[in-house]
Structure 1
Amino acid sequence: MQTTAKPKKTGRAADSVDKVYQAVKELAVEYRFKPGERVNEVELANRLGVSRTPVREALNRLARDGFMSFVPNRGFYARDITPEGVQELYELRAAIERAAFRLACQRGSDADIAKAVAIWQNNSDLGSTTDWAKVAEADEAFHTAVVKLAKNERMLVALESVNSLIRFFRRIDLESSRRRGGLYDEHAAIIDCLKRRDGETGGELLERHITLSSAHAVEVTKEGLARIFFGRTG
């Protein structure tokens, strides 16, 4: 029996799906869809000025990425928030970064290590008017740069996926009084290990630096829900 290959997407169609995916992903990252909310595909397509087809494809991709869930015959729903889920994501991030740190100490050149360190030191000033959103961006960029030093593409892809899922909570975590007290000292200790290429000690420090306790995961989750549903901060 002869089969007919499916036609490939045209460049324009693929671009359209990618653009819709990025636009909807940004909304999902920032929880513009409330947890458990059903996503109205027609409304979303109208909002973005596209047909339902690229919206459906984008939502399918986001479901695979963990930002949505799909219920047959009912549609797509925004991801829920639970303390356990937040804690699991941070545990995964810690495992990836600890393993990558050891490799970074072995494989990173002195020049590349200096560039990674500069990302944090040049973009994370602490003062009376500290912009914690910018600190969070610098924090993510620095940690990502360290993982890049490991020269392991799969680790990097895995971290970038986790980073997208926790970006909303990362800012909340860094703004908390618990984190503010030790953030800069912890980074300084990790950077010192990186410069000395002490992968074991640095990896341990990094894991402790990242991992959330159960109690703190509950605090971060509660604050996240307050911001999503009531627009409250602090």
Structure 2
Amino acid sequence: MSTAVPVTPEPQRSMAERAFDEIRRMIIRLDLAPGDVVREADLQEALGIGRTPIREALQRLARDHFVNVIPRRGMFVGAIDVSELSTLYETRAVMEPYVARLATVRGTAADWDEMAEVLAETQRAGIAPVELIELDRRCHEIIWSSAGNRFLTDTLDTLYAQSDRLWHMYLADVADMDHAVEEHESILLALRAGDADRVAELVAGHVRSFDAQVRDAVTRRLDAPLAPAGARPGRVAP
């Protein structure tokens, strides 16, 4: 008679992953703003998820610097430090083009067809900027997945999430996402053509364009006469 090998139940892992995604989305979209107190009980009630998955998700978010744990005080949403904008950009500027090169070689026609379907969604009448940034993310995710390197994908996922947070903080109401869509259309053409050099060049330009928009928005806010207290310089207030 064989003995069954105990395994970790899949639903438990799925709930922890769902908790991570949902809480991170709340932080990115500023439903939980920098400096806000993070309470496990509130998250359990809001998300309908148990204590253990919530706790696992928060531990992971702390490792990714989305939340900070301060002994004897509690857990808080991490602040955004202006001085880190340059390091965020320089990391993405190296990794994104490299991953795009891998994707050009390893990706398939099916991958690029999926990307084309995502871009077609951007043409819907009345589509909101927040929906466009989600579709922008999907295009990046397809490229990352096509590269076939989960270590790079995990790192880029975290970097993009931090960039996404900056977009919601500074650009959600003013950014022209049409230009970003056009950039992805050019990237897709180069991917289909198998031109790795051109893909890397276009992806680098895409990341550079985003960085320039954020820097310009940050500069305008910090230079504004009525800039919020705590917004100069260093940690950025919402």
TM-score of the alignment, normalized to the shorter chain, above 0.5: yes
Change (3 A) 1:205 1:31: same
Deviation at 1:113, TM superposition (A): 4.3
Q: Which runs of 5+ in 2 are unaligned?
A: 1-6, 229-238
Question: Hey, what does 2:116 align to over in structure 1?
Answer: 118
**What amino acid is aligned across from residue 214 of structure 2 in structure 1?**
H
Structure 2 residue 171 is matched with structure 1 residue 196: no
Letter of the structure 2 residue corresponding to residue 34 of structure 1: A
1:164-183 map, 5 Å: 164-170=161-167, 173=171, 176-177=174-175, 179-180=176-177, 182-183=179-180
- Give the TM-score normalised by structure 1: 0.72
Say whether the 8 Å CA contact 1:147–1:156 is kept in structure 2: yes
Does 1:148 find its partner at 2:145?
Answer: yes
* Structure 2 residue corresponding to 1:134, chosen from 107, 131, 135: 131
In structure 1, the partner of 2:97 is 98
Correspondence for 1:205 among 202, 214, 218: 202
- Corresponding residue number in structure 1 for 2:236: none
Given the superposition, is the C-alpha separation of residues 30 and 106 from structure 1 closer, same or farther in structure 2, using an over 3 Å criterion? Answer: same
Contact 1:173/1:220 (8 A) holds in 2: no
For residue 34 of structure 1, give the secondary structure of its aligned residue in structure 2. Answer: coil
| Paired residue secondary structure (1:77) | strand
State, as a whole percentage, how many aligned pairs show the same letter.
25
Greater mean deviation of Cα atoms: 93-102 or 162-171: 162-171
Aligned with 1:209: secondary structure? helix
Aligned positions, number: 216
Deviation digits for residues 113-168 of structure 1, max 9, x if unmatched?
A: 432431333211176x3322222121111121112221222122222222333333
Q: 1:232 matched to which residue of 2? A: none
Residue 70 of structure 1 is matched in structure 2 by: 69
- What is the TM-score with the length of structure 2 in the denominator? 0.71
* CA contact 1:17–1:58 (8 Å) conserved in 2: yes
Residue 26 (1) aligns with residue 25 (2): yes
CA RMSD of aligned residues (A): 3.6
Contact 1:65 1:161 in 2 (8 A): yes
